Each structure stands twice: as C-alpha cells, then as structure tokens.
Amino acid sequence: MEAKPAEVVKYLMINMGVMATVTQSVDAETAVVVAEAFGKKVVRGALPDDDGVAAAGVANMGNAIDEDPEESLLPRPPVVTIMGHVDHGKTTLLDAIRSAKVASGEAGGITQSIGAYQVTTASGQEVTFIDTPGHAAFSEMRARGANATDVVVLVVAADDGVKEQTKECIATAKLASVPIVVAINKMDKPGADPARVLNELMNYQLLSTEFGGDVEVGKVSAKNKDGLDDLLDKILLQAEVLELKANPNRAAQGVVIEAGMKQGLGTVATTLIQRGTLKIGDIFVAGASWGKVRLLMNHTGARITEAGPSTPVQVVGFDGVPGAGDVFTVVDKEETARTITDSRRKLLRENQAAQMQGDLKGNVEAILSGMLEDGAKEKMELPIVLRADGPGSAEALASSLRELVSEDEYFKVTCKVLTAGVGEVTKSDIAIAGVSNAYVVCFNVAANHQAVEDARRGDIEIGYYNVVYDVLDQVQERLDRIRSPTPDGVYIGRAQVKVIFSIGKVGNIAGSEVLDGEVRRGSNVRIMRMGRVVHEGALKVLKNVKADVEAMVAGTECGIQVSDFEDFQEGDFIECYIDE
C-alpha cells in the first residue's frame, strides 16, 4: 500500500482494537478495512492453492476442476495394491509374479516402504503393482496405497489366517471403496487350511464367489510359483469390470507414493501417473514442493523420456522432499509453480505455529491439572530426533513412537518426537538433541562425519536401525528404564515395608514382606516411595525374627536396615540388586 508498517500497526491498534505485530497475518475483512482507510481500492481474490489452482494457471488439477471428454479416454493398465499382514508373503508373491528378487533386499524380510512396479502378463497386458508394508506402524502408508489403486490384492497366509493387520487392510480398502481380490498364500505348507481362511473372511463381509459371493479368491504358493496365472486372471477380470480409462494426451497428474534423498540425484520421488503423460522438462507441483523434471526412471532404474497413465516412475528435479500421498500436477510455467508452493508453505508455517501454541497451552493445562488432581501421575517424556529414508517412513515411525508408553501407579513416560526428517543426520539435528538431551533415531540412514563428531563430544547417543520392530522395541525399553531406573547390578527381588521398629542405639528397622525374588544382605538397594527414589544404599542388616540371615525369599517376612537411612515409611518398596 506504499505505507509505513508502523502506520498500519497504529491504525490496527487504535482504530480497530487489533493488537498486531508487523509480521502477523490478519483476516481478509480486516485487511480490506485497513486498505480502504489508506485510500486503496481492494479487489477480493483467492490464494492459488488446491481449490483455486486453475485460476493460477495450473493445467488440469484434479477432477474437481476439469473432466476429460469421454472421447479422449483410452484404456489404461489397472493399478493393483498388495496388502496383508506382516510375513504373509506379499513381497514374495509380487517377486514371483514379476520374477525379480525384491524380498531378499528388504531388511528383516519385511517391506519398510511402498514400492511400485509394472509387469506384463503372459497375455501381453500390463499391470501396475504397489507393494505396501504389512507392519502395524505403516497403517498410514497402506492407506495411501489403497487410495492410489484400482484393485486391492489381500494376501492371507493359508497356515496363519486373518490377523490384526489383515483386518486393518480390509477396513482401509473398504474405506477407499476399492474392490478386493483375495490371494490365499503359502498353500505349499503342511498346515495350510484355505477353508479356515474363507470362513474367517466371511466375518468381515468378504464372501468368495465359490460361496455365492462377489470376492474373487486365488489359492497360490509364492514360493513354488503355483496358481499365479489364475490370480492374475482374476485381477484382470476385476479390472475389466471397472472399465479403467484415462486421457494420455494432456498434462500429467498423479500421486507421490514415496520420496527420499539419493546421493548424486537429490530428491527422488516414486510417483504414480494417473492421467496425462509426464515428460522430461515438465514443470510440476507436489504438495509444498515444485520442480522441473530432470530425469525419469522406471521401476527397474532404466531412464525413460515419458510416462503415461498407470505408470510408476521415479522423478528427479524436486526443490524439496514432498510428502507421501501429495498430489503431483504439471503446471504451465515456473511462475505458477512458485506462486502455488509459496502459498502452501506459508499456510504450512502458520499451521505449525498454531499447533505449537496449542501444544504449549495443552502442556500448561496438563501441568496445572496435575497440580490440582490428588494422586496424579508424574509425567515424563523421552525426547527423540528422528531421521528416516523417506517421508512416509518418518511419518509412520513418528506416529508409532508417540503411541509408546510406560506407566505404573505413579509414573507415566511417553515419547516426544522433536523432529522427524528425511536424509542423513546433520549438525543441526545433533544440536537439537544436545539442547533437549534427546535420543537420535536413524532409520535406514546414517549420520554425516561432522554430526558423529559433535555427538561424541556431546555424549549424544545415535541409534541405527533398518527394521521397524527394533526401533519400537528398543525405544520401549528406554521408556521402561526412565520409569524405573536400575542402579548398578542385577535386580534380584523386592520387599514392602509393613511396620517400622525403633530399637534404641540400633536405629529404625523396617519390618517388611518379601514380594518377589529375594532380598540379600550386602546387596544394593533402592527405596521407592510414591514412585520416587528416596534413597540408594546397601542392605546392612537382614533379620528373621531376631536371627541374622543372609537372604529371605518371596512370601517371608524380615527386618531390614539400610546403611545411612532410617526414614522408613509404611508402604515403601525396597528393591535389591547384586553385582554381576
């Protein structure tokens, strides 16, 4: 408006009662009033984000903005998502179908991210497969797989039946309104019982065609490559019913399946093209990132010049790392891409600031409520700095870590993920960890040399993992140790103080009942009261009635005296440890 910032702030405060700073955002109505007060004419518009992209010059941004004419639509390959419980053979089945070793390259034999591949059947028809992880930590990633697919293949082990993640996959597919084809795998195993699997699936409204339902079921052995042609026929039959078509002669649009950093290439995003054709040199927008296509690679890593509908392709040329599930859209010019991403990044920053304020308010309220509530648990947090090989992995792991908890009657310990980023650990990550005394978790990534040196100097621990089970299990162990720290030695038993005896010059003796294990004279002890450690020392005297004894076992009563401590209270716990 060619006005000094101080004048605008002054007008807001005095005339409108808005206590604003120079960098603060105001709503549109307030902005109009202020601008008109300064003699400016205001024309109301809209930021060019997902709902106003067309006005900003984005070519064909979703069905909500434009529809392809019926005559421009051509048949396209079906996109099939492989889902199922962990270790039921999803990747091995896909491996058998496309005759390439994929499962052998997965840490722990399980898929940690989403992979997209395209195969050609014996009849010459192309099918695009998306392989999603089966572990519970990757529910969000499985959901993205279903939302980008035409058909879901639900893999169930014939010797194991329907499991927890199987149920999640069924719910995910139904939520996305995607038809399901069931693949009963591991038919070669001695304990295979397909009838049991079919009966269990009926509990989730999946009735096979042989029972009069509409769900196609294929019985396969991925290991022996039996029944694969029959399964592919059932998939293609389902795809034929859907009459899948797309317009290849237009600007490309798709969805980011997974993204990460690769040495020498920068950000590489596996993208599923849903309509149009993506070409080298195209300018695109994906979430809050934009770029120009510098390189296209197919699922085998070979370079290609273009990718049509239902084609999974690795795109190089992003200015940042997009999120898994972000809409990928080709735009007409660089200026448009910058405008869109700038507005999205601004909105993202505002949302993050609002969330931080909300978290701060929630923390203050939690502290105050804890002060007011009688007998409230003391809450502690384990700070974590998380770095992963892709945004999908980072997001899913962060979500799972936040759900971990260790609690007892007095204490509750949870995880607080300070940052969850993509790529190697850097100096800034170590700086954050140093300030907050955080544990650094690296999932399929490493720390650079400078970060390692800083971590050593600051005594900051870095954990390297390539299997999600290990991350969750070891962080859970840390939470348990925070809640109940162990002094030097090995835990051997615990007693509870029932009554206190005061014996002249001897001092106070704790009349106690041994609850588990044994208590032993000379052992290290820790005295716990209301979840707090009130003393650590040595068990000096142990008596059974009046006789001195070496040890007392669970279920017995004894008298305990601890070195340099007499302030026993009824209900105290005495935990005993011995040197290894």
Contact 47, 31 (CB under 8 A): no
pLDDT digits (tens, 9 = 90+) for 388-431: 887 777 877 888 898 888 887 667 888 988 888 888 888 888 88
Is 465 in contact with 443 (CB distance < 8 Å)? yes
Average per-residue pLDDT for the chain: 80
Percent of the chain with pLDDT over 70: 84
Question: Environment class of residue 132 by beta-carbon count within 10 Å: exposed (0-12), middle (13-18) or buried (19+)?
Answer: buried
pLDDT in tens, 372-382: 444 455 678 88
Average pLDDT of 342-350? 80
Instruction: Give the model's confidence band at 63: pLDDT under 50 very low, under 70 low, under 90 confident, else very high.
Output: very low
Share of the chain above pLDDT 90, in %: 15
The H or E element that residue 405 is part of is strand 405-407
For residues 107 and 158, the answer to whether their CB atoms sit within 8 Å is no
Beta-strand pair 507-520/378-388? unpaired
pLDDT, mean of residues 67-91? 84
- Predicted pLDDT of residue 496: 92
Domain borders along the chain are 5-45, 77-243, 249-340, 377-478, 490-578
- What number of H helices and E strands is found in the chain? 12, 30
**Any idea which of 37-46, 148-157, 372-381, 529-538 has the lowest mean pLDDT?**
372-381
Average pLDDT for 436-458: 85
Tens-digit pLDDT profile for residues 448-485: 888 888 888 888 889 888 878 788 888 988 888 777 66
Tokens of 572: 């105290």
Q: What is the residue-wise DSSP string for 317-366?
A: EESS-PPTT-EEEEES-HHHHHHHHHHHHHHHHHHHHHHHHHHHHHHHHH
- With 0-12 CB in 10 A as exposed, 13-18 as middle and 19+ as buried, what is 504? exposed
pLDDT top residue among 487 and 254: 254
Does 22 have pLDDT greater than 90? no
User: 3-state class of 552 per DSSP?
Assistant: strand
What DSSP character marks residue 78? P
- Whole-angstrom Cα distance, residue 32 to residue 46? 14
Query: What is the CB neighbour count within 10 angstroms for residue 11?
Result: 17
CA distances from 218 to 55, 153, 222, 380 (A): 48, 10, 12, 50
pLDDT of res. 315: 93
Q: Which CATH superfamily is domain 377-478 in?
A: Translation initiation factor IF- 2, domain 3 (3.40.50.10050)
pLDDT at 359 > cutoff 70: no
CA atoms within 13 A on the CB side of 380: 19
pLDDT of residue 161: 86
- Report pLDDT for 115: 67
Domain 490-578 has CATH 2.40.30.10: yes
For 231, counting Cβ atoms within 10 Å of its Cβ (0-12 exposed, 13-18 middle, 19+ buried), the class is: buried
Under CATH, to which class is 249-340 assigned?
A: mainly beta
Mean pLDDT for 31-41 is 86
The answer to which of 100-109, 243-252, 265-274, 459-468 has the lowest mean pLDDT is: 100-109
Q: How far apart are CA 501 and CA 566, in angstroms?
A: 10
Residue 223, pLDDT above cutoff 80: yes
Q: Give per-residue pLDDT as tens, 280-323.
A: 999 999 988 999 999 998 877 889 999 999 998 999 999 888 87
Class of domain 77-243: alpha beta
249-340 and 490-578: same fold?
Answer: yes
Please tell me the pTM assigned to this model.
0.58
- The whole-number pLDDT of residue 108 equals 47
- Assess whether pLDDT exceeds 70 at residue 487: no
The pLDDT, as a whole number, for residue 308 is 92
For residue 213, what are the CA distances in angstroms to 172, 184, 208, 418?
A: 20, 16, 5, 49
Residue of 165 and 252 predicted with greater confidence: 252
Mean pLDDT, rounded, for 334-347: 86
Q: DSSP string of 85-153?
A: STTSSHHHHHHHHHTS--GGGSGGGS--S-EEEEEE-TTS-EEEEEE---SGGGHHHHHHHHHT-SEEE
CA end-to-end span of the chain, whole Å? 76
